[in-house]
Chains A and B, each alone.
Chain A
Amino acid sequence: MYNPQLNAQGQLQHLLSIEGLPRRILTDILDTAENFVSVTEREVKKVPLLRGKTVCNIFFENSTRTRTTFEIAAKRLSADVLNLNVGTSSQSKGETILDTVNNLIAMHADMFVVRHQQSGAAHFIAQHVPPHISVINAGDGRHAHPTQGLLDVFTIRKYKPEMHNLRVAIVGDVLHSRVARSEIHALTTLGVPEIRVIAPRTLLPSGVEKLGVQVFHNMDEGLKDVDVIMMLRLQNERMSGALLPSTQEFFQTFGLTPERLASAKPDAIVMHPGPMNRGVEIDSAVADGKQSVILPQVTYGIAVRMAVMAILGGGNAA
Chain B
Amino acid sequence: MNILIKNGHVMDAGQQLDQVKDLYISQGKIAAIGDAPAGFTADHVLDASGKWVLPGLVDLCARLREPGSEYKATLLSELRAAMAGGVTSLACPPDTDPVLDEPGLVEMLKHRAKSHALAHVYPLGAVTRQLQGQLLTEMFALTSAGCVGFSQADAAIVDTQVLWRAFEYAATFGYTLFMRAEDPYLARNGVAHDGEVASRLGLKGIPVAAETIALQTMLHIAQATGVSLHIARVSTAESVALIRQAKQSGMTLTADVSIQHLHLTEMDIGFFDSLTRLTPPVRTQRDRDALRAGLLDGTLDAICSDHTPVDEDGKALPFAEAHPGASALELLLPLTLKWAAQARLSPAQALGKITQAPANILGVPAGNLQVGSSADVVIYDPQVEWRVDSQALVSQGKNTPFMHQPVTGKVAATLTNGVLVFQQEMLHLNN
Contacts and interface: CB of A to CB of B under 8 A. Distances in A.
B207 interface: yes
Interface in B190-228: 194-196, 198-205, 207
A118 B318 contact: yes
A144 B318 CA distance: 14
B199 A211 contact: yes
Contacts of B205: 205-206
Contacts of A128: 316
Interface residues of B, number: 22
Contacts of A31: none
B52 interface: no
A144 B199 contact: no
A141 interface: yes
B201 A143 contact: yes
Given A96-B317, A120-B319, A124-B318, A211 B200 contact: yes
Interface string A130-152: 00000000001111100000000
A275 interface: no
Given A98-B316, A123-B271, A207 B203 contact: no
Nearest to A4: B271
Given A119-B272, A141-B202, A124 B195 contact: no
B317 A97 contact: yes
A206 B195 CA distance: 6
Contacts of B318: 97, 116, 118-121, 124, 140-141
A124 B319 CA distance: 8
A93 interface: no
Contacts of A206: 194-195, 198-199, 205, 207
A243 interface: no
Interface string B316-358: 1111110000000000000000000000000000000000000
Contacts of B207: 206
A24 interface: no
A98 B313 CA distance: 9
Interface string A207-222: 1101100000000000
A124 B199 contact: no
B227 to A, nearest CB: 33
A178 interface: yes
Interface string B276-320: 000000000000000000000000000000000000010011111
Contacts of A98: 316
A80 interface: no
A102 to B, nearest CB: 11
Given A96-B313, A119-B272, A142-B202, A210 B321 contact: no
A76 interface: no
Contacts of A140: 202, 318
B202 A178 contact: yes
Contacts, number: 70
Contact of A181 (B202, B204, B321): B202
Contacts of A181: 200, 202
A19 interface: yes
B93 to A, nearest CB: 27
Interface in B11-66: none
A262 B244 CA distance: 55
Contacts of B271: 4, 120, 123
B290 to A, nearest CB: 18
Interface in A84-107: 96-98
Contacts of B201: 119-120, 143
Given A4-B271, A206-B195, A206-B207, A144 B317 contact: no
Contacts of A119: 201-203, 272, 318-320
A181 B197 CA distance: 12
A210 B196 CA distance: 7
Contacts of A143: 201-203
B200 A19 contact: yes
A210 B198 CA distance: 12
Contacts of B317: 96-97, 124
B196 A118 contact: no
Contacts of B194: 206
A118 B199 contact: no
A141 to B, nearest CB: 5
Contacts of A142: 202-204
A120 B322 CA distance: 11
Nearest to A145: B202
Contacts of A116: 318
Nearest to A180: B202
Contacts of B313: 96
B272 A123 contact: yes
Nearest to B188: A241
Given A118-B318, A206-B194, A144 B272 contact: no
B64 to A, nearest CB: 26
Interface of A: 4, 19, 96-98, 116, 118-121, 123-124, 128, 140-144, 178, 181, 205-208, 210-211
17 contacts: A19-B200, A96-B316, A97-B317, A119-B272, A120-B203, A120-B271, A120-B319, A123-B271, A124-B272, A124-B317, A124-B319, A141-B202, A141-B320, A142-B204, A205-B198, A206-B195, A210-B200
